Amino acid sequence: MSDDEFVIPEQINRDRFGRPLIIPEHGGPPVAYTRCTTYVNCLEDRFALGQWQQRMAVAGIAARNDLHLRAVSLGLPPTDDDTPAKKMAADVWKASMNEVVETAREAAATSAAATVGTSLHAITEAIDRGTDVNMDTIPANYRPHLDAYVAATKGLNPLHIERFSVCDEIMVGGTADRIVQIAGTDGVFIADIKTGSVEYGAGTMAMQLAVYAHSKLYDPATGARTPIEGINLERGIIIHLDAKTGVCRLHWLNIAAGWEAVALAGQVRAWRKRKDLMADATIALPVVDPKTREAIMSAIRVATCVDELTGLWQEAAVNNLWTDAMTQAAKTRKNELLQTVNVAA
């Protein structure tokens, strides 16, 4: 049974972006920390996820005529020419179309898995806290899920459940599902429950658990930090309770490698925030002495052959002195020279 059994879940104040507001380690007004999932996701390859989301949105619109009609009524995006009226129209269109897309995804049952996952999380939390769970109230098709969870985790002793922590080093805050002891093993381990697929997310999960392992438990009332004594910084545990199959398996995660990737994520985030990558360019052309151009024009008019005209053009062009007027003068002189040659012939 956890020592958190009778602990009321922490109420973390957040800003309008959902970021946790954290009292600095040495006191002062609360400041916004980055959510752990946001911080580690910057290295995630989201291509496949994006494609899946697009497929679900299209499927949802195809399944519901009202959403199809709504999308048609919105039409193509209005042109945003930076005028206030056009910008407002573009913003309204984006917000409205986002609502259609979100509703379409739900219509395609994309939210069902998330709802099941959230529910399984809540029930497993109750089980780990030692709360009596009336299995008769659980839908029959999900009772095997919970039996599998209990069997797979019988060697884990949860010391902390759903505890918020902060990593001041990178100004990140988040909630670890479990901090556990393992029977026959020294130290304690960060553990996280996943109900969706874990096939492609090992890198991000390793980073997430690494952040939790390098964090301190946080008291939102006082801002006090409590180190996690004996935490293992090499390995963490994924408790994979598959919402589809009901199978529950444990997986080790290399969180030492995950912490290396967290450092890389910090560099990526800093790079994306740089504001010194582009600036207005002003190229000052050399000041040309009018007398120099007059000399070139005079040389063009008295040139004795076409090669001499070519040489004048090359020298003047290199020094940014050649003008359209010189081009016309050179053509005129070239014609004169060619006529002279023809007459002589």
With 90 as the cut, is the pLDDT of residue 53 above it? no
Q: Are residues 40 and 126 in the same domain?
A: yes
Listed residues 272, 300, 316: the one ending a domain: 272
Q: What letter represents residue 201's amino acid?
A: G
Over range 250-272, report the average pLDDT: 96
With tokens 């996952």, the residue in question is: 117
Q: Are residues 107 and 29 in the same domain?
A: yes
Global pTM value: 0.71
Q: Is 285 left (phi over 0), alpha (psi -120 to 50) or beta?
A: beta
Q: Are residues 234 and 128 in the same domain?
A: yes
For residue 242, tell me if it sits in a domain.
yes
Q: Are residues 266 and 318 in the same domain?
A: no
d(CA 141, CA 154): 22
For residue 340, tell me if it sits in a domain.
yes
Q: Are residues 340 and 229 in the same domain?
A: no
d(CA 36, CA 268): 15
With cut-offs at 50, 70 and 90, classify the pLDDT of residue 111.
low
Cβ partners under 8 Å of residue 165, min gap 6: 173, 174, 175, 176, 212, 215, 216, 217, 218, 228
Q: Are residues 153 and 108 in the same domain?
A: yes
With cut-offs at 50, 70 and 90, classify the pLDDT of residue 60.
confident
Residues above pLDDT 70, as percent of the chain = 93
Counting Cα atoms < 13 Å in the Cβ hemisphere of 269 gives 17
Q: Are residues 256 and 318 in the same domain?
A: no
For residue 286, tell me if it sits in a domain.
no
With cut-offs at 50, 70 and 90, classify the pLDDT of residue 190.
very high
Q: Are residues 190 and 303 in the same domain?
A: no
d(CA 205, CA 320): 60
Counting Cα atoms < 13 Å in the Cβ hemisphere of 177 gives 23
For residue 87, tell me if it sits in a domain.
yes
Which range marks the domain in which residue 122 is found? Answer: 21-272
Strand boundaries in 36-171, DSSP class E: 156-167
Over range 133-157, report the average pLDDT: 94
* 3-state secondary structure at position 14: strand
Q: How far is CA 320 from the centre of its chain?
A: 48
With cut-offs at 50, 70 and 90, classify the pLDDT of residue 6.
very low
Listed residues 209, 238, 272: the one ending a domain: 272
Q: Are residues 227 and 185 in the same domain?
A: yes
With cut-offs at 50, 70 and 90, classify the pLDDT of residue 9.
low
Counting Cα atoms < 13 Å in the Cβ hemisphere of 10 gives 25
Tell me the C-alpha to C-alpha distance, in Å, between residue 285 and each of 181, 268, 297. Answer: 72, 38, 21
Over range 106-121, report the average pLDDT: 78
Q: Count the domains in the chain.
A: 2
Q: Are residues 128 and 237 in the same domain?
A: yes
Over range 142-167, report the average pLDDT: 96
For residue 283, tell me if it sits in a domain.
no
Counting Cα atoms < 13 Å in the Cβ hemisphere of 291 gives 0
With 60 as the cut, is the pLDDT of residue 4 above it? no
Q: Are residues 171 and 35 in the same domain?
A: yes
Q: Which long-range contacts (CB under 8 A, 24 or more apart) does 309-317 make?
A: 309/333, 309/334
